[in-house]
Structure 1
Amino acid sequence: MRESIHKYFQVGLIQWMSYPQIPPTQSLRAIAGDDYFDAVEVKGFGNENPEAKAILTQSHLLVCYGAQPRLLGPGLNPNALDENERLKAEATLLEALDEAEYLGAKGIAFLAGRWKEDTKAQSYEQLLKTTRTICGQAQEKGMHVELEVFDFDMDKAALIGPAPYAARFAADMRTTHSNFGLLVDLSHFPTTYETSRFVIRTLRPYITHFHFGNAVVRQNCDGYGDQHPRMGYPNGANDTAELLEYLRVLKQEGFFCADNPYVLSLEVAPRPEEDPHIVLANTKRVLNRAWALLED
């Protein structure tokens, strides 16, 4: 593409993934000082954090709030069959809305919880209940809610899940809440045994946010599962060619929107022995190359 990617997407970064070992406000300051990025995705800073808010206010970054760590860390499940457990997940997501609002974000993203085949239908109804409560509260604040689509049998083993099931859930949610959408991630397509073309076309009406990265789906290999290693990592499923195909499908399906660009965030994490700054530069190079190869 001859035109800049920043015309068609707000290029973002998932802060807690790219800088897991650096103090959050320090890494946030580094991201805010890097004009490659138009958006930043944060997991929150614990209660009110004036320093973080000041950095974000000054930065002209679009602020996105990822509530996934609030669920994954303590093992909370928004589709738990036990109502008390479900309400614990719901409560932390409501808290996430308040913190997101404080930081200047216009919404939150989260993920479904684990499930079992014999109780799948009940889990689905529990997830609808939680999501409708969150969307209702978000609507009062003028905010939106996004559910990220994850693997269903490999690592996170989340209810949502394969693309057709995610489409069904999103359609059910849209019957009651227009502020609901889906977040899709190129990193997760290999873990759900699906392709960019299949996922994007299946979920086309409901997608509101994009991530990209890599995944290792060969068992017994380093980085196996939903670990988001750098692009080109040994035995990884995604590199420049796969990102190019992802961008190509997004273009064909009408997601290049100059008037109101979608967020497209890099989701990469350094392995224990790797330098996060080098891994981030790697990801920028891959995105730049894929964009350069994309047909006008």
Structure 2
Amino acid sequence: MKESLHDYMKVGIVHFMADPAAMTGEGEIAASVARIAADEFFDAIEVTHVKDPAERAAVAEVVSSAGMTVGFGGQPLILRGKLNLNSTDDAERAAAIEALKGGIDQAYELGAGKFGFLSGPNPPADQRERALGLLADSIVQLGRYAASKGDLTLSLETFDDSTDKCALIGTNRLACELAREVRKAIPSFGLMVDLSHLPMQGETVHQALSETAEFINHAHIGNCVIRDPSDPAYGDKHPAFSHPKGENNVPQVREFLRGLLDIGYLRPDPAERPIVAFEVQPLGAGESTQTVVADAKRVLREAWRTL
């Protein structure tokens, strides 16, 4: 591709994965965000809950002054809190909805335009149809709450249903079935497709993107290890692309970008550039936020250069 990749996309980064300590919502998060915001390679950043109101205000000031597009990741709230939006227990599901409404409130405080989240656990086969209906109802409640406060867009990330997170929405086909139902009430609702999840989902890039073309509103690129369960990076850990046992590197990122172009998610000089965000984290000795982010940038540039 001769044009700059930045002509086609806003390159983003999942801050709380690049700096995993931020998942707790505590500590000097604004300073960590500022280090990424100072890198003009990134147009967008995804942050998560920040417990201290003063620190949250500081994060909002940093991303605003840097002119970044902001997304809010509700995934840590769900995973760390063991929340279940498709629970058959009414009290448990209500608690999950209320917790994510709190996340939506923070998303607005942080200036976010998109709210990412995932489904609850994958139940036994005989309960999945009911769980899918309950999940749809939960999302509609969240969508209506978000709409009552502004124009925040919801984006459900598809995960694995049997390898690591074992989520209900672990195939992109099922995600689209859900999206069709939710969009009857929340037309702006969309899906987030993550390259790092595709090997765990057992889907090719073509399968996943052709399936979700109608609904995709966010894209992540990352890596995973699935062939060696004894490896510390096994599962949904998002290791650096340089990991020797990883499934994704330049060829797979290039294929993903080509797929995003084929379905029209990426296009030359769009009125509003869509986001493609890195989701990588430091895991091994000698790795840091800086090294894994630099590796990811090199991989994206090379994948784009060789399209």
TM over 0.5: yes
Seq. identity, %: 34
Aligned residue among 34, 38, 59 for 2:39: 34
Partner SS, residue 205 of structure 1: coil
TM-score with structure 2 setting the length: 0.93
The 1-side partners of 2:284 and 2:94 are apart by: 35
What aligned pairs does 1:119-130 form with structure 2 within 5 A after superposition?
A: 119-130=127-138
Task: Describe the superposition over 1:231-261 as per-residue Cα deviations: whole angstroms up to 9, x where unpaired.
Answer: 0312211010000000111111112242111
TM-score (norm 1): 0.96
CA distance in 2, matches of 1:247, 1:88: 38
| Equivalent pair of 1:150/1:158 in contact (CA under 8 Å) | yes
Kept in 2, the 8 Å contact 1:184–1:207? The answer is yes
Q: Could you tell me how far apart the structure 1 residues matched to 2:86 and 2:64 are?
A: 35
Partner of 2:175: 166
Mean CA deviation greater in 165-174 or 137-146: 137-146
Separation of aligned partners in 2, 1:182 and 1:35: 27
Q: Which residue of 2 aligns with 1:146?
A: 155
Q: Is 1:7 aligned with 2:16?
A: no
Q: Is the 8 A contact 1:97 1:107 kept in 2?
A: no
Q: 1:1-296 to 2 correspondence within 5 Å?
A: 1-21=1-21, 23-48=28-53, 49-116=56-123, 117-140=125-148, 141-222=150-231, 223-257=233-267, 258-273=270-285, 274-294=287-307
Q: Which amino acid aligns with 1:69?
A: P
Q: What's the CA shift string for 1:173-196, capped at 9, x where partnerless?
A: 112211200000000000000011
Distance 1:206 1:173 in 2: 11
Distance, in Å, in 2 between the alignment partners of 1:252 and 1:203 is 12
What residue in structure 1 maps to residue 25 of structure 2? none
Q: CA RMSD in A?
A: 1.2
* Equivalent pairs, count: 294
| TM superposition shift of 1:44 | 2.3
- Structure 1 residue 138: Cα displacement: 1.5
Q: Deviations over 1:47-96 (max 9, x none)?
A: 53221111111010001000010110011111111010001110011111
| Aligned-partner Cα distance in 1 for 2:303–2:281 | 20
Unaligned ranges ≥5, structure 1: none
Is residue 139–residue 179 contact of structure 1 (8 Å, CA) maintained in 2? no
Structure 2 unmatched runs, 5+: 23-27
